[in-house]
């Protein structure tokens, strides 16, 4: 595979594991064991069983007829919105909780921004009967009350991060501090293709079930096991990595990543990391991130909480630098419009994150016979209040 991570955890010049000395043992344990465990027959059987009976996989590949007519081409939606808990995030947390059990861990920690990864983690911790602590910025706790309530109902302890800007990066720092203090019994579930090696590769592999199913479903529905184009939104980049995984080496498949332009890339209120970012270390890996001259992280902005992240996973930084993926930005207003368009044409309310992927459609020149798959990463129930503010505009 051309875009695989190397022994040290690098994709080209991006990636690695820039960790405090005190975490060395934990990370080394994971690096040495993750592939062996993930590739064992027992693990695969348990993982696939849970994906099937608990998550509800395979998620359908749906031919969106009215949307296709509008854009004069063939558009399919990969329905990750139909998964248990409403997005692709559960594919990864199911994988990591199983891994934690194989490693003999009894306590789970995670950090969350908008709360989506926190909910997916609290869900699988309940399923596995493990103690769960989720770190969340104090500001985010106030902004995301429904997800905080869900995590509490699921039995997780939500701990506020009260330092710095009181948002995601501060929650990440707290989670890493916790891990340092509990190196033996605790497993840290990271929610995207970010963090120190082996997390980006591990999360991409767990999410790769998306492209694996896509191949089979495309073969059955169209007679060819690859599309001409895949479109996915990117925050950290896990749903995109999963949707691209089995097609990375197939140059006939165009890969389009859509990042959040926010109010506009030049407005100072954006999360368009590929354009605004420079090389640096965030969350213990070398990648592209939004930072000032002193290396301080610039707070990102997007109407969509899941894309409001100041970096991108190292795999994506690499894919972009090699020209394998093309990045488009969708601004808040374009995403809202695309969310309404899908809802009115197909009766599917997409997550605001997924609406960014859909917002790429008007920016692309399609041929009538081309097959495009849009990865519909999540459902929009959580975003109704935001959508409704724009109802009569």
Ligand X SMILES: *Cc1c(COP(=O)(O)O)cnc(C)c1O
Q: Is 238 in the site for ligand X (CB under 6 A)?
A: yes
Burial zone of 23 (CB within 10 Å; 0-12 exposed, 13-18 middle, 19+ buried): middle
Contact 290, 276 (CB under 8 A): yes
Q: Is 378 in the site for ligand X (CB under 6 A)?
A: yes
The minimum distance between CB 241 and ligand X, in angstroms, equals 8
Which residue in 68, 74, 105, 111 is the catalytic one? 111
Q: What share of the chain is helix, strand, coil (3-state, %, to 5)?
A: 45, 20, 30
Q: Is 213 in the site for ligand X (CB under 6 A)?
A: no
Q: Which two tokens stand for residue 273?
A: 């990391």
In whole angstroms, the minimum distance from the beta carbon of 232 to ligand X comes to: 7
Q: Return d(Cα 161, Cα 168) in angstroms, integer.
A: 9
80 is known as an active-site residue: no
Rounded to whole angstroms, the Cα distance separating 98 from 113 reads 23
**Considering the rule CB under 6 A, would residue 87 count as an interface residue with ligand X?**
yes
Nearer to ligand X, 9 or 191 (CB): 191
Burial degree of 368 (CB within 10 A; 0-12, 13-18, 19+) = exposed
| Catalytic status, residue 341 | no
Decide: is 338 part of the binding site for ligand X (CB under 6 A): no
User: Among residues 74, 78, 89, 166, which one is catalytic?
Assistant: 89
Q: Known catalytic residue: 89?
A: yes
Residue nearest to ligand X (CB): 378
Task: Based on the shown chain and the rule CB under 6 A, indicate whether residue 116 belongs to the binding site for ligand X.
Answer: yes
Least Cα distance to 117 among 139, 77, 79, 144 occurs for 144
The DSSP 8-state label assigned to residue 236 in this structure reads S
Of the pair 73, 122, the CB lying nearest ligand X is at 122
Determine, following the binding rule CB under 6 A, whether residue 234 of this chain makes contact with ligand X.
yes
Return the residue of 262, 306, 311, 314 that touches ligand X, per CB under 6 A.
Answer: 306
Is 331 near ligand X (CB under 6 A)? Answer: no
Q: Which residue bears the tokens 């027959």? A: 41
Q: Tell me which stretch binds ligand X (CB under 6 A): 94-102, 163-171, 260-268, 346-354.
A: 346-354
Residues with active-site annotation? 89, 111, 377
């Amino acid at each position: 595979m051309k875009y695989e991570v190397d022994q040290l955890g690098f994709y080209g010049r991006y990636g690695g594991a820039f960790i405090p000395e005190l975490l060395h043992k934990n990370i080394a344990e994971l690096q040495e064991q993750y592939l062996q465990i993930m590739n064992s027959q027992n693990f695969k059987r348990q993982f696939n069983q849970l994906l099937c009976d608990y998550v509800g996989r395979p998620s359908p590949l749906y031919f969106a007829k009215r949307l296709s007519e509008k854009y004069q081409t063939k558009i399919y939606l990969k329905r990750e919105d139909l998964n248990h808990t409403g997005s692709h995030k559960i594919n990864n947390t199911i994988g990591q909780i199983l891994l934690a059990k194989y490693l003999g861990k009894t306590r789970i920690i995670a950090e969350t921004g908008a709360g989506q990864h926190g909910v997916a983690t609290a869900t699988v911790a309940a399923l596995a009967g493990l103690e769960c602590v989720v770190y969340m910025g104090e500001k985010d706790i106030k902004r995301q009350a429904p997800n905080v309530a869900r995590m509490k109902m699921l039995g997780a302890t939500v701990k506020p991060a009260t330092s710095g800007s009181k948002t995601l990066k501060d929650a990440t720092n707290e989670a890493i501090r916790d891990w340092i203090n509990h190196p033996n019994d605790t497993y840290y579930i990271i929610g995207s293709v970010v963090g120190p090696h082996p997390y980006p590769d591990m999360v991409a592999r767990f999410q790769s079930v998306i492209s694996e199913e896509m191949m089979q479903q495309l073969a059955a529905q169209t007679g060819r096991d690859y599309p001409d184009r895949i479109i996915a939104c990117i925050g950290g980049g896990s749903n995109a990595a999963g949707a691209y995984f089995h097609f990375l080496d197939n140059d006939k498949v165009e890969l389009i990543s859509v990042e959040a332009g926010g109010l506009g890339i030049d407005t100072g209120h954006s999360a368009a990391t590929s354009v605004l970012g420079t090389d640096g270390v965030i969350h213990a890996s070398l990648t592209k991130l939004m930072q000032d001259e002193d290396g301080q992280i610039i707070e990102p902005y997007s109407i969509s909480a899941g894309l409001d992240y100041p970096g991108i996973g190292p795999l994506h930084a690499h894919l972009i630098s090699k020209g394998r993926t093309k990045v488009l930005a969708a601004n808040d207003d374009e995403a809202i419009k695309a969310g309404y368009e899908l809802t009115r044409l197909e009766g599917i309310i997409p997550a605001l994150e997924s609406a960014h992927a859909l917002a790429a459609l008007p920016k692309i020149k399609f041929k009538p016979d081309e097959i495009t798959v849009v990865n519909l990463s999540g459902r929009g129930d959580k975003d109704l209040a935001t959508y409704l503010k724009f109802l009569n505009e």
